[in-house]
Amino acid sequence: MSGLPHSPHALVTGGGRGIGRAIAAALVGAGATVTIIGRNAQVLDEAVNDGAAHFGAVADVANETALKAAIAEAHARRPIDILIANAGSAESAPFAKSDSALFARMMNINFMGVVHSIHGVLPGMKDRPYGRIVVIASTAGLKGYAYVSAYVAAKHAAIGLVRSLALELAGSSVTVNAICPGFTDTDLVAGSIDNIMKKTGRSREQAIAELAKHNPQGRLIAPEEVADAVLWLCGQGASAITGQAIAVAGGEI
């Protein structure tokens, strides 16, 4: 019994594009009913129309009130069995220029967004016979990178939360894990590539190579590779896997 239970309801934050959309599509393909949450209604509608999800709801994960309302609406449709806390954002700056506002933005999106998401689903999930919480963190939650100290700090915090919450919920049917991708071929990384090109005058190919060099395989990770790891964690055969931070990074970690 390694697959998903019969037609679970999965909620994916940041599910309209990139890694989130790949995860949503993989869950749909495995038989889940999928609700995606994001900030852009048009992007969500496109994902639903393309069959990558069944329902979409507009909310910013950093806005606790709006997010909990969106989760409550999804739960009213069907109880939520799977949470993929994927929504995130990255900003780069030297530490000396990383002011408190930058740290607050990174913590609000990448850490408190996870907290708000879990708070929204856990009351209805923990007493059910099956539950999965998967946080999409980053290799930045397992090591340091220069010039993204606020982002790294937020991702480390998210992994700490995963490890603690997994112990609290170990007596239930809910598992809590993190997936930590390396640099992945998404819109978010495309922004980093553009930033490298702008600051260094390098070509796009050179900028991609600059990021890919962190991966011993010498490439960017595909969103579908992250989705495959998530699908495994959501399977019934992974019920003993909890409190883990699993790198999908070509051997970087």
Indicate which residues carry an active-site annotation: 151
**Phi and psi, residue 75, nearest 5°:** -65, -35
The H or E element containing residue 180 is strand 174-181
How far apart (Å, rounded) are the C-alpha atoms in residues 253 and 128? 34
Amino acid, res. 124: G
Q: Give the number of other Cβ atoms within 10 Å of residue 236's Cβ.
A: 12
Distances (CA, A) of 72 to 8, 111, 132, 171, 247: 16, 20, 17, 25, 31
How far apart (Å, rounded) are the C-alpha atoms in residues 127 and 242? 17
The H or E element containing residue 203 is none
Contact 74, 35 (CB under 8 A): yes
Q: Give the number of other Cβ atoms within 10 Å of residue 1's Cβ.
A: 8
Residue 17 tokens, joined: 């594009």
Q: Is 111 left (phi over 0), alpha (psi -120 to 50) or beta?
A: alpha
